[in-house]
Amino acid sequence: MKSHSSLTRREFLRRSAVFTAAAAAPLILPSGVLAANGQPGANDRIQVGFIGIGRQAGGLLQGLLKLPVARVVAFADVNLPRAEENAQKHGAKAMQDFRRLLEMKDVDAIVTATPEQWRSNICIPACQAGKDIYAEKPVTLTIHEGRLMVEAARKYKRVFQVGSQQRSAWVDIAVCEFIRDGGMGKISKAIVPNYPSPWFSNLPAQPVPAGLDWDLWCGPAPLVPYNIDLYTPRANPGWLSFRPYSGGEMTGWGAHGFDMVQYALGMDESGPVEVWTEGPKWDPPTYDQAEPKKRGDDLAMQTKVFWRYANGVVLEPGEAPGFGAIFHGEKGTMKVDRGRCESEPEEIAIDIRKKRPKGVNDDHMKNWLDCIKSRAKPHADIEIGHRSATVCHLGNIAREVGGKLTWDPKAERFTNSEAANKLLDRERRKPWELPSKV
């Protein structure tokens, strides 16, 4: 059965002329529709708060500012001077603790791009507070918390967009729908990058910068000494390479590539049934001084990860685009990359590219804001983001446990390894435990 979001995108592609006319027109909705029940009225500007305003969030902010339907009203950041600088620039409020922002009655929705150890602890309370959400990918640090985030979004009827921008990009939509609808015939395998897993940090203590609440930055993760090469996302090597803050590039880049795989294979509400490794067992190093991430990445990639879906499609590590995959089907091969596609025979991709509708808007943020108004599911709904992140987490767990693991995508548990099941979630530092039910 096709998902609702998939049908919406196909309708969007078929009715491009209608879309173009609508995109060119101002947003005019019936009068008398007022804000109520934790959502903005149809004629209201959407009041947005940012939780975390670092490198990635800065880019999201610039995209949001181009859309007149939204207004930024608050910034929360553990680095208070950074929040205050942005607030002053945009006439908004600044605070250090995100919980204060969630208490604000005039905030309709949030954008969050914090380190991954914070994602569930921000998004679940945001749903409970009646805020719609745009959360960066990867949307989770563990599989269990992803399911809780889906449950929270559904229970509190929130519009939850994951920052997988390719879900709103016309070329990626067209190619994935083409593969999904049988355009390449039966798919036998997809070649994906052998994304590296995270390792450990024991970096030396440095003075905490003025205005930074380091305890709050660590949050649910263990409290460790401050170091700029931990605090910075991609430095030497930065938190993106370290447990327990990130899933490494397996989730950092893999959340893009595997999202395209899930989409093209029609697995937006499911996933693989097996995952295994080949090569040496992964032995994560510990960085005790500043060092580029290359050594850790190279060590991780010595262990190759494979996935298999119930329909027989195997994901094999190899030379593939970081934002996509190379699909092998009965009618040839198709390479999917961000905004690009290539095929063998080449006529298939050429024909797809020729059909691009004029005036199509690939704006992922706009899609989120439109759905806040309509209450429809966005292109990268939380279920989609959770399922794509799960493929990444399965790869990291397989590297850690070893052997061939069987996975039940419905129950979201391994059927042959309790050691692997213990890695479906993590311990959290008090007071940041998650509820068993939302």
CA–CA distance, 144 with 330 (Å, rounded to integer): 36
In a domain, 436, yes or no: no
pLDDT range class, residue 2, cuts 50, 70, 90: very low
- CA atoms in the 13 A half-sphere facing the CB of 62: 5
Q: Is residue 351 part of a domain?
A: yes
Tell me, yes or no, whether 20 and 156 share the same domain. yes
Do residue 295 and residue 406 come from a single domain?
Answer: yes
Query: Mean pLDDT across the stretch 22-33?
Result: 30
- Domain boundary, last residue among 146, 167, 188: 167
- On whether residue 428 sits in a domain, the answer given is no
Q: What is the pLDDT of residue 34?
A: 37
Q: Is the pLDDT of residue 11 over 50?
A: no
Do residues 94 and 100 make contact, with C-beta atoms less than 8 angstroms apart? Answer: no
- Structure confidence at residue 40 as a pLDDT band (50, 70, 90): low
- Are 140 and 193 in the same domain? no
219 and 156 part of one domain: no
Q: Say if residue 250 is in the same domain as residue 392.
A: yes
Predicted confidence (pLDDT) at residue 197 exceeds the cutoff of 80: yes
Measured in degrees and rounded to the nearest 5, phi and psi for residue 199 equal -130, -160
What CATH number corresponds to the domain at position 32? 3.40.50.720
Supply the mean pLDDT for the chain. Answer: 91
In a domain, 437, yes or no: no
Residue 142 resides in a domain = yes
Residues 6+ apart with CB under 8 A from 354: none
For residue 26, pLDDT beyond 50: no
Looking at the fold, whether 163 and 184 belong to one and the same domain comes out as no
Dihedrals φ, ψ of 407, to 5°? -125, 135
* Three-state SS at 366: helix
Higher confidence at residue 355 or residue 307? 307
pLDDT in tens, 147-191: 999 999 999 999 999 999 999 999 999 999 999 999 999 999 999
Both 192 and 48 in one domain: the answer is: no
* Domain final residue, candidates 126, 147, 167: 167
| Cα gap 192→255, rounded to integer Å | 12
d(CA 178, CA 175): 5
> What pLDDT was estimated at residue 21?
30
Residue 23 has pLDDT above 50, yes or no: no
Q: Which two tokens stand for residue 28?
A: 């005019």
pLDDT at 19: 26
Domain hosting 415: range is 170-358+383-421
pLDDT for the residue 39: 60
Number of domains forming the structure of the chain: 2
| Cβ atoms of 171 and 353 closer than 8 Å | yes
Report the pLDDT value the prediction gives residue 106, as an integer from 0 to 100: 95
Same domain, yes or no, for 205 and 146? no
Helix (H) or strand (E) holding 337: strand 332-337
Domain boundary residue, one of 167, 187, 215: 167
Whether residues 217 and 230 fall in one domain: yes
Residues 203 and 314 in one domain: yes
| pLDDT digit string, tens, across residues 355-413 | 887 767 789 999 999 999 999 999 999 999 999 999 999 999 999 999 999 999 999 99
Q: Using omega within 30 degrees of 0 as the cis cutoff, is the peptide bond preceding 138 cis?
A: yes
Long-range pairs for 333-341: beta carbons < 8 A, 24 or more residues apart: 333/184, 334/175, 334/178, 334/179, 334/184, 336/172, 336/175, 336/176, 336/179, 336/260, 336/264, 338/166, 338/169, 338/172, 338/256, 339/166, 339/169, 339/171, 339/172, 340/171, 341/171, 341/175
Q: What is the pLDDT of residue 33?
A: 32
User: CATH number, domain at 350?
Assistant: 3.30.360.10
Nearest-angstrom CA–CA distance, 356 and 92 = 39
Q: How far apart are CA 192 and CA 317, in angstroms?
A: 5
